[in-house]
Amino acid sequence: MPTSRRTLLKTSAAAAAAFSFDWTRAQAQAGAVRIGVIYDLTGPFAAGGSVASSIGTQIAIDLVNEKGGVGGKYKIAPVNVDSQSKPDVAINEANRLIDQEKVDILNGVFASSHAVPLAAKVEQQKRILWITTAVSTAVFKDKNLQYVFRAQIHSDQYGQAFGGFLGEHAKARLGMEPKDVKVALIHEDGPYGVGVAAADETFAKEAGLQVVLKEGYSASAPDLSVLVTKLKRAKADIISHAGYNPDITLFLRQARESGLKFKMLFGAGAGYSQLDKLRATFGADIDNFCNIDPVPAQLLDPAKLAPGVGDLTKTMVARYREKTSATEVPPHCSMGFNQTWILLNNVLPVAKEKYGGFDPEAIRKAALDVDIPPGGTIQGYGVKFYPPGTPMSGQNERSTPVVMQNAGERITVVWPTNIRTQDPVFPLPKGSVYGA
């Protein structure tokens, strides 16, 4: 059937309009910085802090774009992917972002079990991997990475905080010499848990503490009753637990059912930083548990930070609550926001202005130029990356965690002593379900 002149004109007009739209969009994207953003938006890691990190990252991107983009000129165009709490999916998505989406920068990564293989993969392809959340020391140690950076803390620092807190408070709070304090270290058996437990063991022994049990398990284990039985037999005073969300819930439920008692439990971020979720299941049972992690920015005194940092924190907190209706703003939001903010405001402008572009080599050089003093970020620590040729090349040498305590419906900082917001409740009070 012949096409009428009228139909031909309408079809041509539609095609022209579509072409015009695509051309306009392409032109808009041409001045944008495309960044691949990788988080676990589904699966067990999602509730363990990954979604909170992704929201923090998006808030940072939104704030920069609202001011015109990087340097006020180049909008950020995120390409978001879901790694589904699976290492193979994370690797496949990273490959797709690099090969098909043609991005030079990957940002995010919640799980250390993803970060370790991703770092090797991205380094090999000479793209930038900017890690916001995963903590395993194994990502960087003795790898001499050139294109992978992390302003976040690393897992050895959990052990330093754990040993430091107990060494400082054992005698005064427990009435025990450190050598008489029995410590149990339990952990999921991925790079995150293994790294934290190894550091806990090293620094606990340095503090003179007794390590009476060190036990790993699969984060997807359907039953942890054997682990609970081992803890009861070990008669540990202190438990350190590195876990995600489902396994923490399972452990605490079975510990309560079996009558496990202890003087204190220390979490190591991840699921222990998702207080809204834990409190919905356990209520006041988790009151006074401690948690070691980078600090949620809203807990710091803005007067001790660089000018403007406190206001930035208020904006982040307000936007997180608007997006989620959450009461608590978890540390993972601050992690996602803080590390992304550093990339967008302290690295990319320098890459463009000093090194000529947003290519991986320019970004790598700009990252090594970063020199933020303590107090210069919303999480309190400064930023200076270890240079190539050093054992932790690419890791922030100025990152620091804190020990926090669940004080009812709020969180307090109880260590280091110089920035604490409350004296620790230690040991657990007699009214605690788990209190020895």
Q: Are residues 255 and 325 in the same domain?
A: no
- Element containing residue 197 per DSSP (H, E): helix 191-206
Q: How far apart are CA 282 and CA 249, in angstroms?
A: 9
Residues 6+ apart with CB under 8 A from 337: 56, 57, 59, 60, 297, 316, 378
Task: Say what the pLDDT of residue 279 is.
Answer: 85
Domain assignment present for 177: yes
Q: Are residues 94 and 57 in the same domain?
A: yes
Task: Say what the pLDDT of residue 154 is.
Answer: 93
Task: Say what the pLDDT of residue 277 is.
Answer: 83
Q: Are residues 33 and 146 in the same domain?
A: yes
Domain assignment present for 261: yes
Domain assignment present for 238: yes
DSSP 84-125: TT-HHHHHHHHHHHHHTS--SEEEE---HHHHHHHHHHHHHT
Q: How far apart are CA 342 and CA 359, in angstroms?
A: 17
Task: Say what the pLDDT of residue 340 is.
Answer: 98
* Residue 66 one-letter amino acid: E
Q: Are residues 75 and 188 in the same domain?
A: no
Q: Are residues 407 and 284 in the same domain?
A: yes
CB atoms within 10 A of CB 357: 12
Domain assignment present for 122: yes
Locus of tokens 């993969």:
121
State how many domains the chain has. 2
Give the pLDDT confidence of 272-292 residue by residue, as tens digits: 877 778 888 998 899 999 999
Task: Say what the pLDDT of residue 6 is.
Answer: 45
Q: Are residues 266 and 313 in the same domain?
A: no
Q: How far apart are CA 109 and CA 124, in angstroms?
A: 18
Domain assignment present for 320: yes
Q: Are residues 174 and 272 in the same domain?
A: yes
Domain assignment present for 325: yes
Give the global pTM.
0.82
Task: Say what the pLDDT of residue 182 is.
Answer: 97
Q: Are residues 182 and 209 in the same domain?
A: yes
Q: How far apart are CA 363 and CA 375, in angstroms?
A: 24
Q: What residues make up the domain containing 97?
A: 29-153+305-369
Domain assignment present for 393: no
Q: Are residues 280 and 409 in the same domain?
A: yes
Q: How would you write the pLDDT of the chain (436 residues) with one tens digit per residue?
A: 444 444 434 444 444 444 434 433 443 445 799 999 999 999 989 988 999 999 999 999 999 999 999 999 999 999 999 999 999 999 999 999 999 999 999 999 999 999 999 999 999 999 999 999 999 999 999 999 999 999 999 989 999 999 999 999 999 999 999 999 999 999 999 888 998 999 999 999 999 999 999 999 999 999 999 999 999 999 999 999 999 888 999 999 999 999 999 999 999 977 887 777 888 899 889 999 999 988 889 988 898 899 999 999 999 999 999 999 988 898 899 999 999 999 999 999 999 999 999 999 999 999 999 999 999 999 999 999 999 999 999 999 999 999 999 887 778 899 887 778 889 999 999 889 999 8
Local structure of 260: helix, strand or coil? coil
Task: Say what the pLDDT of residue 108 is.
Answer: 98
Which among 39, 251, 259, 219 has a CA at the least distance from the CA of 130?
A: 39
- Give me the CATH number covering residue 88: 3.40.50.2300
Domain assignment present for 361: yes
Instruction: Report yes or no: 355 and 362 within 8 Å, Cβ to Cβ.
Output: yes
Q: Are residues 48 and 145 in the same domain?
A: yes
Task: Say what the pLDDT of residue 210 is.
Answer: 96
Q: How far apart are CA 78 and CA 13, in angstroms?
A: 32
Give the pLDDT confidence of 161-185 residue by residue, as tens digits: 999 999 999 999 999 999 999 999 9
Task: Say what the pLDDT of residue 30 is.
Answer: 53
Q: Are residues 236 and 325 in the same domain?
A: no
Q: How open is the CA angle 241-408-54, to the nearest 5 degrees?
A: 60
Q: Are residues 163 and 229 in the same domain?
A: yes
